[in-house]
Amino acid sequence: MSNCSISVIIPVFNSGKYIEKCLESIINQSFEDMEIICINDGSKDNSLEILEKFSDKDSRIKVFSQKNQGLSASRNRGLELASGKYIIFVDSDDWLKKDFAQKLFCEIEKNETDFSICAAQAYDCETLQKSDFMSDYLSLSCLAFFENKVFNQFDTKKQMFYIPVMAWGKIYNRDFLKRTKARFEEVLFFEDNLFFYHIYKHAEKISILKEKLYNYRVNNKNSMFQQSKNIFDVKIETLDKIEETIKSFEYFEQMKNDFLKFKLLHMINILNNTSGLNKIKCYQKLQKKFINVDFKIYDENLFKNTPLYKYYDTIRNKNFIKGLCKLSF
């Protein structure tokens, strides 16, 4: 592949229902100097046929097929194939505003950042309507204070766990990713978290745009994320790995309580998506994770500032949290 300004990497798995809209939004970007790398991850529907059709009419689209290996392996292969100065990840069921690439390219060029972030709008696959869930994830956080500024981890200690970790909705300097050996862990789901905290630790310059330039689908039952069969245990494993990374931050002791809140929120999030006997087993596993916690990690006002607070009753249930963590309030 010849060098270009931006490499767009799209992992594709059984995305026939949505991939056309995704690709149309990319090939019609106001910014044209890009390559579009589509990794067909063993799709069994008509995804490959659609990809090849688009590739025939737009030479910027390159299609690569592999046996099903998962989202992380697909993104990693895309990184290996990319030749662009910058990297953008797009999920195959999402789509972009027309000026997404142009505005993020200008942002990262102007500020010479290691990566830059934009906001997103969520759409519910079941209701076909705009969704409040996570759609304002950036404006909800204190990071809004950093709009039009260049910052790094040391400037955002108190906002660390409010920064959006998704691989999409960002533009990355490819040399920075190569230099820091940034890759997605291929044995885990929720790999965005590990990838993000790795690059967050190493980034010297970050910037944000509050504009909602990325459109993100929620409640897509066929998404690569939804393929996990043991999502609760995998999430625990991932959070343990995130903790290993975060403990290497020199100011970890200052944010230990914040990390416990972050960990608890995500555990409850997964617990709310389980049911029956499996939910009881998950609760027992979760209780063991927090039984020896000495910190007062329940802070209702803090949780009110998170999207999860509105949607999960258990986060608002002090007796539930108290029994889970065996804390006094």
Token pair for 148: 């039009």
In a domain, residue 42? The reply is yes
Q: List, for residues 223-267, the tens digit of each pLDDT value.
A: 554 444 566 777 778 878 888 998 899 898 888 877 877 777 777
Give yes or no: residues 22 and 102 share one domain.
Answer: yes
Give yes or no: residues 220 and 243 share one domain.
Answer: no
CB-based contact 115:152 (threshold 8 Å): no
Give yes or no: residues 80 and 121 share one domain.
Answer: yes
What sign has the CA pseudo-torsion 193, 195, 197, 200? Answer: negative
- Select from 163, 34, 22, 9 the least CA-distant residue to 88: 9
Give yes or no: residues 156 and 41 share one domain.
Answer: yes
Q: What is the pLDDT tens value at each position of the chain, 329 positions in all? A: 458 999 999 999 999 999 999 999 999 999 999 999 999 999 999 999 999 999 999 999 999 999 999 999 999 999 999 999 999 999 999 999 999 999 999 999 999 999 999 988 888 877 767 865 444 554 445 566 787 899 999 998 877 887 888 999 999 999 999 999 999 988 666 788 899 999 999 999 999 998 889 999 876 665 554 444 566 777 778 878 888 998 899 898 888 877 877 777 777 666 666 666 676 777 677 767 665 554 444 455 545 554 444 444 444 455 555 555 544 33
* Displacement of CA 197 from its chain's centroid (Å): 11
pLDDT at 1: 47
In a domain, residue 222? The reply is yes
Question: Which domain does 60 fall in, by range?
Answer: 6-227
Give yes or no: residues 59 and 182 share one domain.
Answer: yes
Which residue, of 164, 196, 227, is where some domain finishes? Answer: 227
% the chain with pLDDT above 90: 48
In a domain, residue 303? The reply is yes
In a domain, residue 256? The reply is yes
Q: List, for residues 176-226, the tens digit of each pLDDT value.
A: 999 999 999 886 667 888 999 999 999 999 999 988 899 998 766 655 544
Which residue, of 201, 227, 253, is where some domain finishes? Answer: 227
In a domain, residue 118? The reply is yes
Domain count, the chain: 2
Which residue, of 227, 249, 266, is where some domain finishes? Answer: 227
In a domain, residue 267? The reply is yes
- CATH number, position 212: 3.90.550.10
Which DSSP state fits 151? Answer: B
Contacts of 212 (CB under 8 A, 6+ apart): 97, 118, 119, 120, 121, 135
Q: For 252-290, b where at least 16 C-beta lie within 10 A, e where not — what string?
A: eeebeebbbbbbbbbbbbbbbeeeeeeeeebbeebeebb
Backbone angles phi, psi at 89, to 5 degrees: -105, 135
In a domain, residue 35? The reply is yes
Beta bridge partners of 95: 215
Exposed / middle / buried, residue 240 (Cβ in 10 Å: 0-12, 13-18, 19+): exposed
